[in-house]
C-alpha cells in the first residue's frame, strides 16, 4: 500500500497541536521528530562516540511532524490540512509560536515503514510499569505491571517524555481506592496503567473519536474494560464525574482552559497531574492553578517538558 508522507515544520511548543490536526486525517501514524532529542542523545554519548559532526549539536528550534496518509486520500486531505494549519496559525497569534508550518510531501511504501518501525520498537520501563507493543512477548518481573499497546492505532505509545513523567507520578501518588480521570486520553495508556497499578476505576475522555476507539481497543487488549469507562466527550460538560486523581497530559493552553471548570471534576483533597508544559509556559500555568487553590507538590523535568503534581483543598 502506498502512502503520502506529510512533513510539517513547526516548533516544540506547537508540535502537539499540529499532530492533533494530522491525526484527523490518518489512522496510520503521526510522528514528532525533534532535533533537540537528537542533541540530547549526542550529549549523553559524547564520551563513547569517536566523532560527532558539530553541525548536529547546534541548538535546533524546528520540529518536524510527519503523518502518513493513504495515497488515494492524500489530495483531499492536503487541502483540509492546509486550511486547518492556517486556522491554527491565526488562533495562535500572540500566544504560541507555531513556526513556518511549511508542508512537504513524498510518496512512501506503507508496509516498509511500518515493519521497520516495528522492528525498532521495544518494551519501555517506567518504574514498575512496562509499556509493551502487543506484537512483542514480554513478562514483567515481580511487583511490575505491563501495559500492552496496539501501536498501529492512533496516539501515544509511552515513549514521549510527557507521558513517561505522568506514569511515574501516577505510581507515586495513586491510592488503591482512587478513581482516576484522564482528560485527553489518546491511546488510553495512562488510565490503563492506573488500573493495573491498583486504581479502583478509571474514566478516560477525549474529544477525538479516533482516540476513543484506540483507547477502547487498548482497554480490551489489557483486560481492564470492566474498570474503565471511555467517553467521547469533553469531561467538563459532565459535572457529576469526579476523580481522586485527575491526569491531563495536554498543552499549556488547553490546561489553562481546563482550569475554568476543573474544580467541578476533582474531589476534595484531590490530586492533579499536569504534563505537556514547556518551560516558557510553566509559570503562567502554575499561577492559573494557584489562583484556584491548588498547591504544587512536585515538579519533574525531562528535556524541554515539565510535569507537575498539585493538590487541592476545597
Taking the C-alpha atoms of 123, 33, 30 and 256 in order, what is their torsion angle to the nearest 10 degrees?
100
Q: What is the pLDDT of residue 161?
A: 83
Helix (H) or strand (E) holding 221: helix 209-222
> For every one of its 314 residues, what pLDDT tens digit does the chain have, with 9 covering 90 and above?
788 989 999 998 888 889 889 988 987 778 777 655 544 444 444 443 343 344 444 444 688 888 889 899 999 999 999 999 999 999 888 878 899 999 999 888 766 656 655 665 678 889 999 998 888 888 888 999 999 987 554 445 566 788 899 999 999 999 999 999 999 888 899 999 999 999 999 999 988 787 888 899 999 999 999 999 998 877 656 667 899 999 999 888 889 988 988 899 999 899 999 998 988 899 999 999 999 999 999 999 988 889 999 999 76
* Beta bridge pairs of residue 103: 8
Residue 44 confidence (pLDDT):
46
Host H or E run for residue 132: strand 129-133
Predicted pLDDT at 115:
64
Give the whole-angstrom CA distance, residue 47 versus residue 104: 36
Amino acid at each position: 500500500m502506498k502512502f503520502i508522507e506529510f512533513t510539517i515544520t513547526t516548533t516544540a511548543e506547537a508540535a502537539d497541536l499540529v499532530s492533533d490536526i494530522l491525526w484527523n486525517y490518518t489512522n496510520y501514524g503521526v510522528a514528532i521528530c525533534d532535533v533537540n532529542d537528537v542533541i540530547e542523545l549526542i550529549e549523553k554519548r559524547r564520551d563513547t562516540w569517536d566523532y560527532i559532526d558539530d553541525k548536529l549539536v547546534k541548538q535546533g528550534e524546528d520540529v518536524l511532524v510527519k503523518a502518513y496518509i493513504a495515497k488515494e486520500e492524500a489530495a483531499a486531505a492536503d487541502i483540509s490540512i492546509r486550511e486547518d494549519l492556517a486556522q491554527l496559525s491565526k488562533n495562535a497569534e500572540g500566544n504560541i509560536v507555531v513556526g513556518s508550518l511549511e508542508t512537504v510531501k513524498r510518496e512512501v511504501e506503507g508496509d516498509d515503514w511500518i515493519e521497520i518501525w516495528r522492528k525498532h520498537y521495544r518494551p519501555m520501563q517506567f518504574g514498575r510499569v512496562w509499556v509493551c507493543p502487543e506484537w512483542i512477548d514480554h513478562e514483567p518481573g515481580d511487583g511490575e505491571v505491563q501495559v500492552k499497546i496496539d501501536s498501529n492505532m492512533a496516539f501515544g505509545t509511552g515513549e514521549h517524555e510527557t507521558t513517561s513523567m505522568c506514569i511515574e507520578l501516577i505510581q507515586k501518588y495513586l491510592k488503591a481506592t482512587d478513581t482516576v480521570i484522564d482528560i485527553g486520553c489518546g491511546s488510553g495508556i495512562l488510565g490503563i496503567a492506573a488500573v493495573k497499578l491498583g486504581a479502583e476505576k478509571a474514566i478516560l475522555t477525549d474529544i477525538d473519536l479516533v482516540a476513543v476507539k484506540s483507547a477502547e481497543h487498548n482497554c480490551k487488549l489489557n483486560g481492564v474494560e470492566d474498570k474503565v469507562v471511555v467517553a467521547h466527550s469533553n469531561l467538563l460538560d459532565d459535572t457529576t464525574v469526579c476523580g481522586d486523581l485527575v491526569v491531563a497530559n495536554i498543552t499549556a493552553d488547553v490546561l489553562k482552559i481546563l482550569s475554568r471548570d476543573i474544580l467541578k471534576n476533582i474531589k476534595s483533597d484531590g490530586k492533579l497531574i499536569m504534563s505537556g508544559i514547556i518551560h516558557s509556559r510553566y509559570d503562567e500555568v502554575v499561577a492559573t492553578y494557584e489562583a484556584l487553590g491548588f498547591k504544587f507538590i512536585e515538579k519533574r523535568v525531562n528535556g524541554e517538558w515539565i510535569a507537575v503534581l498539585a493538590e487541592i483543598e476545597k
